[in-house]
Amino acid sequence: MGLWNYISQKAKGLGVTEKAPRRAALPQRDGADSRGEWLAARGPRAVPPAAGRRVKETAGQGAKTMSITASGPDCCGGLGNINYRKADLCVMTWLLHYVDPLDPSFVVAFLTIAFNPFFWNVVARWEQRTRKLSSAFGSPYLACYFLGGVILLLNVLRSHCFTQAMLSQPKMEGLDNPTTYGLGLALLGVGTVFVLSSFFALGFTGTFLGDYFGILKEARVTTFPFSVMDNPMYWGSTANYLGWGLMHASPTGLLLTVVVALVYVVAILYEEPFTTEIYRQKAAKSHGRR
């Protein structure tokens, strides 16, 4: 019995159901609905009508082969037994453990990220149609400098709110290591190079929507970093926020970086056709004069 108990314990540890040794059938009372009486009435080869079993009969050559298959779950429980609602809840619980989207700091950061491109595009289009700012300042250059200063202040506010949102929420331990910090620092450096080189290539008025004020260059800038990618200032800024989020090991920072990227994509879809069109018109006028 000691050996049997040991084997049984090992089987239980492996998830194997213990089968008890067969015993002699005991006499049953008349009228009792029992396995023993059923087998006695049907014979030793009978298959009991157990719940969850299906008996398949397949015709063979002169004989019938009977196979019993269990309709219950397989050894791993089966994919059909997975509660996907609970799985989704686990993912959401894990995410909310790090990021609270209702936290005031997160909400303010989200709003500043979404507001900035919306603001400068609305004001620039309004100026392009009405020339109100140019009239108010007496010069399109002064009006552009004013709008550029406002945009810079809004960007400082956005970066501050981004940082506060990260600091107000927990870090992810898996990201809090020297390797991730170094990667974030590298991204911050690359992003800064793209932002500053874009600024020097475009100049102040070119950077801050001077084309909407009628301040155009001779042609679209194609030197570095525009020779490497389109819209390098936007993607450089995105790299800065991504690097900053990694340096803080912050899931909140990573999520807000995604928001930054999406907002910039929308801004590019809105701005790019206008910029292309005004430089096409300028090129057409130049050819017409020749």
Whether the pLDDT of residue 205 is over 50: the answer is yes
Q: Residue ranges for the binding site for S-adenosyl-L-methionine? A: 189-191, 271-272
Q: Residue ranges for the binding site? A: 189-191, 271-272
Taking phi first (over 0 means left), then psi (-120 to 50 degrees means alpha), and beta for anything else, what does residue 289 get? alpha
**Range with the lowest mean pLDDT among 51-60, 164-173, 265-274?**
51-60
* pLDDT, tens only, 30-73: 444 455 554 455 554 444 444 444 434 444 444 444 443 444 44
pTM: 0.67
* pLDDT band, residue 93 (cuts 50/70/90): low
Listed by start position, the domains of the chain span 104-289
* pLDDT band, residue 10 (cuts 50/70/90): very low
Q: Which one-letter amino acid corresponds to residue 121?
A: N
The answer to whether residues 32 and 24 touch, using CB atoms and an 8 Å cutoff, is no
The answer to whether residues 226 and 232 touch, using CB atoms and an 8 Å cutoff, is yes
